[in-house]
Amino acid sequence: MTFARPDHSIDPDTLPRMPAWVTSARAETFEDVAFLSGAALNHLHLVLEHTEVPQALLRDRLALRAAETCVAFSGRPERAGELRDAVHLLRPGDLPGPAGETCLAWRRAVERTVSVKALGRALPTLEPGRIVTWLDAAKGAPVTRAATVLDAVLTEAPRAEVPALILADAVLAQALGWDPLVPLLAAGLKRADLRKHGDDLRLASHRALISSAIEAVRQAADLARRAAHLKAVAPKLRAKGAGDAVEMFLTRDAVVPSSLPLPDRAARRLCDRLVELGAVQELTGRDTFRLYGV
């Protein structure tokens, strides 16, 4: 699969949109579905190459979506809000719980270049040798490689949905030249798809990547606009350390004021000011223990 190179000078508001023939097509045959998934991934690749897209922020937000899906697969009730709380309000010595662990695994998976060491950091309960064995199962074209790894992991460990999906996204990213990985498969697959094998799983993976790539492109465009606005209002911020705080907002799905490089009161004032300027939003709707994000 060969990807075209984009024009990096493009304005955030004119990032290329996913072609209508990809978003509206109703493919039935395996060949047609595979063609559409390739087109969707190609377009996502073009969008990811634009410097206007806040890459780390997009990956962190997609990681949250993947974690939410995996938590739902396990039958737990936590959704995005609870997952954010579990990760960002964690105090030293506290345990994040099963849902929080899932969210942390995905966030760690998107933080660093894909490697056995980085994947081991995201999945600390797995031995490096086991990760290598599963990654080595990848053969063929990019989506086939991802589906093969997914199949291999779930055949050996049927309840290991999180490692299976992270490793599948990792080999997909390696095949497409993306680094770090972009969480895509989890959000597009159904729980029943994870019980499929062979060609059935490959077909489900192609379908999943069409829908996930479309959503990732939409989010990339939205975050590019929001990031551009945040950068535009940054010069209005007078607080010492405001520049570093802005960089944190540009790389993280959610930020707790106490994590900003400012005194507590100044951090809260900065967050309130950014909300007034329309540059960030308060994510919880609470009066206390608030979280903010672009």
In order, the DSSP letters of the chain are ---PPP-TT--GGGPPPPPHHHHS----SHHHHHHHHHHHHHHHHHHHT-TTS-HHHHHHHHHHHHHHHHHHHTT----HHHHHHHHHTPPTT---HHHHHHHHHHHHHTTS-S-HHHHHHHSTTS-HHHHHHHHHT--SSHHHHHHHHHHHHHHH-TT-HHHHHHHHHHHHHHHHT-SS----HHHH--GGGGG--HHHHHHHHHHHHHHHHHHHHHHHHHHHHHHHHHHHHGGG--STTHHHHHHHHTT-S-B-GGGSSS-HHHHHHHHHHHHHTTSSEESS--SSS--EE-
- Residue 2 is predicted with a pLDDT of 46
**pLDDT of the residue at 6:** 43
pLDDT above 70: percentage of residues in the chain? 95
Contacts 24+ apart (CB under 8 A), 133-142: 134/167, 135/167, 135/170, 135/171, 138/171, 138/175, 141/1, 141/175, 142/1, 142/41, 142/172, 142/175, 142/176
- Residue 12 belongs to a domain: no
Q: Is 130's pLDDT higher than 80?
A: yes
Looking at the structure, tell me whether residues 197 and 266 fall in a common domain. Answer: no
Q: Is 153 a member of any domain?
A: yes
Residues 99 and 241 in one domain: no
Q: Cα torsion for 215, 202, 173, 78, to the nearest 10°?
A: 50
- 3, pLDDT greater than 80: no
Cα 224 from Cα 279, distance rounded (Å): 12
C-alpha span between 40 and 121 (Å, rounded): 30
Domain tally, the chain: 2
Could you tell me if residue 243 is inside a domain?
Answer: yes
**Which pLDDT value is given to residue 51?**
93
The residues near 44 (Cβ < 8 Å, ≥ 6 apart) are 182, 213, 216, 217, 220
Our CA angle for 62, 252, 49, nearest 5°, is 60
Give me the pLDDT at residue 11, please. 64
Residue 194's pLDDT is: 97
Question: Does the pTM exceed 0.75?
Answer: yes
C-alpha dihedral (179, 184, 185, 187), degrees to nearest 10: 150
Region 14-21: what's the mean pLDDT? 87
Average pLDDT, the chain: 94
74 and 124 together in one domain: yes
More confident residue, 168 or 91: 168
Residue 17 located in a structural domain:
no
* Spatial contact of 113 and 56, defined as CB atoms under 8 Å apart: no
From 189, 222, 255, give the residue that closes a domain.
222
Average pLDDT estimate for 86-95: 93
Statement to judge: residues 215 and 262 lie in one domain: no
* Percent of the chain residues past pLDDT 90, beyond the cut: 90
Residue 89 has pLDDT above 50, yes or no: yes
Q: Tell me: the pLDDT tens digits for 107-127? A: 999 999 999 999 999 999 999
Q: Rounded mean pLDDT of 157-178?
A: 97
- Mark whether 55 and 167 lie in a shared domain: yes
pLDDT of 239 reads 87
What average pLDDT does this structure show over 67-75? 97
The 10 Å CB-count burial string (b at 16+, else e) for 140-149 is eebbbbbbbb
Please indicate, yes or no, whether residues 195 and 267 belong to a single structural domain of this protein.
Answer: no
4: confidence class by pLDDT, cuts 50, 70, 90: very low
CATH code, domain with 193: 1.10.3290
pLDDT band at 26 (very low <50, low <70, confident <90, very high): confident
- 62 in any annotated domain: yes
168 shares a domain with 116: yes
Given 222, 255, 278, which residue is the final one in a domain?
222
Indicate if 256 and 218 belong to the same structural domain.
no
* Residue 107: domain span: 29-222
* Inside any domain, residue 7: no
| Average confidence (pLDDT) over 199-207 | 98
Check whether residue 253 and residue 113 sit in a common domain: no
**What is the CATH number for 241?**
1.10.10
Q: Is 272 left (phi over 0), alpha (psi -120 to 50) or beta?
A: alpha
Q: Identify whether residues 122 and 177 lie together within a single domain.
A: yes
The confidence score (pLDDT) of residue 50 equals 94
* 10 lies in some domain: no
Residue 163 sits in the same domain as residue 276 = no
Query: pLDDT by residue (tens digit) across 223-264?
Result: 999 999 999 999 999 888 999 999 999 999 999 999 999 999
Kindly state whether residues 248 and 209 are assigned to the same domain: no
- Of 164, 188, 222, the domain-final residue: 222
Query: Per the domain annotation, does 3 fall within a domain?
Result: no
Q: What is the pLDDT of residue 16?
A: 83
Distance CA 28, CA 35 (A): 11
Cα–Cα dist 64/184, whole Å: 11
